[in-house]
Structure 1
């Protein structure tokens, strides 16, 4: 009696429909999910490499502009230091050349010469001679360096200014004096500030002592700012595609640094979110496509599982009816060419056999 009631109440638990559905989903979803994970991982690696290479290229291109600017000024010094008038080491011979340099190049606000004892000889501004023997650029040249340089704050502009110096050499390559030019960095700063990477990316130029020369956001103050705190400057190892992401003041950035020929440091940085915006967009689109694919797979799996489970349920119902004596039930699946059709025909034969057995029993009575 209990068995009959259990049969009448229908199947319990994890029915064949859900078993077929689960099996089909596992077969379809696992490969799709695996392929999606691999493709997303590979896409992230590719995007990371692309972002890094873009930073390297932007930094290198800007560094070339900085190097070209400094090389131009060094050539200017080199050419003029060899002229006969400059070799005369007299104010009368040198002043016309120094004045011409200042008048020709807008960024040069002073061109001057210094004797080996530190005393000023010629000046482009016509002012009284001064003593320069205590200046770093002078000491560097007199100490044997081919280039002397010193960064200082301009008294008039209140902005960083640069002094470049070259030795004035005799025919025997003996130092007769020093030729120097004092320059504003406005043209150089303009090249830095005009460099934009997307909406949030910019460049920073530092001297060899990590003092700020130019900032893409115009943050140059009336003092020489120490930028050693920048996370890129604190990172001592060589930057690569695996270590160019930093946190600056609580904000995630991507950044790269490059050393110029003058020993200056050039940093190019960009907000992480903007740098990876296309990657995030591509990932979101992939997630949408994956979700749509999974929904389609589940729907198709359900339809197919239901297509298989429904006739089995009908045959189960017919078999139940036959067990209760209803031998006239119509078996609609017997024309199918698969296993379900074979089961339907077997149930049909069972019903016929039972009908024949019942007929024989009635005749004997």
Structure 2
């Protein structure tokens, strides 16, 4: 009976239409939101990487200016001592190598020049002497991890600088020195008798101050579990996001190197540094964001659906069902001889009004017929 009632027959089509509309709208909005989530994530990564690239560029530019100034000071002070030449064999830091002589003064284990320059210009300074195809630090204030001077160590034979020195060319840029990035300047030292083959190297450099960069990277979180990381020229993780769900350095390194298929990963090189910026976020973060948005959209849709149905029910009850119920009662009582009813629905201008007026006329006709019948029976 309930399924065949008028209220159900009136409300079911409305309910079906509203539910279909809610489902379609939820799907469309979810697809739109998916594009927005991905676009927002990519825009965030782009803005943050651009900011980091800018910081790297400014840092390098400022520090290179200081490096050029320090190099001019080192060369000036060194040449003031006299001409350069290779000396005999000496031992520095436990290694045998050629000596570097300036104005007849041995520079092996002699730190007056390098310390004097850095006392004015700060940073670090080194004198290299050529030993075969290698260049060995004979005087330096670059420090090892244990705090001792790095004398006896050689210029990285696999690095980007040594080839330029062998060719007698200058080099300015970022170099990894004993595991730490420095903004550096290297210029070959020539003997008066040979202006083609370098007998040593002037070096000045500044340990990179990347605190501002570290702060930006530390607070960079992409979606819920994504990260931004900076790897140096030896692919060592230098900085990484520390606020998201993925903050473990080992896990970040693994993801950056393995490029798993369930992650969206992009890599940019940092010009002049040899560094690389890696940004990554899992696809599941996008799915979660879409699911959350879909639940919100679906919930709002169901609420709207309930409000529409409630309004529809109120309208059907007040405009259709209540008048029909009253007219049904009138008709039933009329059938048993009760005709003294007031039918207010006759004032309505719709189909129910027509029905009410018809019942009213029928009631009047029955009443007149019954009154005539009563008179004839007397």
TM-score range, shorter chain: 0.5 to 0.7
| 338-347 or 65-74: bigger deviation | 65-74
Tell me the SS of whatever aligns to 2:176: strand
What is the rounded CA distance, in whole Å, between the counterparts of 1:52 and 1:96 in structure 2? 53
Q: Which residue of structure 1 aligns with residue 11 of structure 2?
A: 21
CA drift at 1:134:
6.0
Give unmatched runs, 5+ long, in structure 2. Answer: 86-100, 143-148, 244-248
Please give the per-residue CA displacement for 1:138-184, whole angstroms capped at 9, x wherever unaligned: 53434669568653656xxxxx45585634388x9956354445654
Q: How many residues align?
A: 327
Q: Does 1:123 align with 2:139?
A: yes
1:213 equivalent in structure 2: 238
How far did residue 27 of structure 1 move?
4.8
Structure 2 counterparts to residues 98-117 of structure 1, below 5 A:
98-99=114-115, 102-103=118-119, 108-115=123-130, 117=133
When residues 318 and 297 of structure 1 are mapped into structure 2, their CA distance, relative to the original with a 3 A threshold, is same
Corresponding residue to 2:344 among 332, 347, 352? 332
Distance 1:209 1:129 in 2: 23
Conserved? CA contact 1:210–1:228, under 8 Å: no
> CA separation in 1, counterparts of 2:27 and 2:137?
73
CA distance in 1, matches of 2:19, 2:351: 27
How far did residue 213 of structure 1 move? Answer: 2.8
1:141, 1:178 within 8 Å by CA — same for their partners in 2? no
1:301 has 2:312 as partner: yes
Q: CA deviation at 1:310?
A: 1.5
Give yes or no for contact 1:140–1:147 (8 Å, CA) kept in 2.
no
* Aligned with 1:197 (options 200, 207, 220): 220
Does the 8 Å contact 1:255/1:267 carry over to 2?
yes
Please give the secondary structure, in 1, of the residue aligned with 2:323: helix
How is 1:239-258 mapped onto 2 (pairs within 5 angstroms)? 246=263, 257-258=267-268
Q: Is the 8 A contact 2:67 2:205 kept in 1?
A: no
> What displacement does 1:89 show?
4.4
1:321 pairs, out of 323, 333, 343, with: 333
Counterpart of 2:97 in structure 1 is none
CA contact (8 A) 2:56 2:270 kept: yes
Determine which of 146, 151, 160 is the counterpart of 2:176.
151
Q: Distance in 2 between matches of 1:151 and 1:51?
A: 33
List aligned pairs for 1:1-365, cutoff 5 A. 12-28=2-18, 30-31=20-21, 34-35=24-25, 38-39=28-29, 41-76=31-66, 83=75, 89=84, 92=102, 98-99=114-115, 102-103=118-119, 108-115=123-130, 117-120=133-136, 123-125=139-141, 130=152, 132=154, 135-137=157-159, 138-142=161-165, 146=171, 151=176, 153=178, 160=180, 162=182, 164=184, 166-168=186-188, 174=196, 176=198, 177-181=200-204, 184-185=207-208, 187-188=209-210, 191-193=213-215, 195=217, 196-197=219-220, 203-215=228-240, 217=242, 229-235=253-259, 246=263, 257-261=267-271, 262-268=273-279, 289-307=300-318, 308-357=320-369
1:295 shift after superposition: 3.4
Give SS of 1:151's match. Answer: strand
Judge which range, 50-59 or 38-47, deviates more. 38-47
What's the C-alpha RMSD, in Å, of the aligned pairs? 4.9
Closer, same or farther: CA 134–256 of 1 in aligned 2, 3 Å: closer
Deviation at residue 344 of structure 1 after TM alignment:
0.7
Structure number with the higher strand fraction is 2
CA contact (8 A) 2:26 2:294 kept: no
Pairwise CA distance, 1:300: 1.2
| Secondary structure of 1:130's aligned partner | coil
CA distance in 1 between partners of 2:166 and 2:77 (Å): 24
| Structure-1-length-normalised TM-score | 0.65
**Aligned residue in 2 for 1:221:** none
The alpha carbon displacement at 1:293 in A equals 3.1
Distance 2:185 2:114 in 1: 13
User: Does the CA-based 8 Å contact 2:30-2:293 persist in structure 1?
Assistant: no
Q: CA deviation at 1:333?
A: 1.2
